[in-house]
Amino acid sequence: MPNHRRAHIDGGIFFFTITLADRSSSLLLEKIDRLREACRAVQQRRPFETIAICILPDHLHAIWTMPENDPDFAMRWNLIKGGFSKGIEARPRSQSKISKREKGIWQRRYREHAIRDERDLDRHIDYIHFNPVKHGYVKRVVDWPHSSFHRFVELGLLTSDWGGDLRDIEGSFGE
């Protein structure tokens, strides 16, 4: 079994991808208020700063800055996932998930990446904001409501037309 090691960097900045077990589900959007409340509750108890976030039907991407004295993001994600799952009916799951009291809502693992520098941070913020277009949910970044993109526009860090408009592109491209 692989030995997954998580980076523990006081004050570190991390990019995350958190995914539902059922990739065909739209549970995160159906229960978005529950997800927001779970995040808020954990953030009050175990502070962290959300730099950027985008919530899609079956997964989310986020960039967090961890506090200097408490870099345990794994515990925070565990609490968020548990808070979100509380009160949601269990999904079909394996005996292993049942024995670990998992409801089968989330994938066990998630991806994290320690942000190395400003360029890396900018690249990951762009990735997060463009993700709904990449997945075909919208043609323009501004049209996806569940993204920190709108905060970036309000702060003057991005323009509302950032990322272009796929409606203006015609033709067949690629392979």
Model-level pTM?
0.84
Instruction: Report d(CA 74, CA 144) in Å as an integer.
Output: 28
Residue type, 5: R
pLDDT in the model for residue 96: 56
| pLDDT band with cut points at 50, 70 and 90 for residue 94 | low
Q: Which domains does the chain have, with CATH numbers?
A: 13-117 (3.30.70.1290)
Is the pLDDT at 57 greater than 50? The verdict is yes
Instruction: Report d(CA 68, CA 89) in Å as an integer.
Output: 37
Instruction: Report d(CA 146, CA 111) in Å as an integer.
Output: 20
pLDDT in the model for residue 104: 67
| pLDDT band with cut points at 50, 70 and 90 for residue 2 | very low
- Higher-pLDDT residue of 56, 69: 56
The average pLDDT across 41-45 equals 95
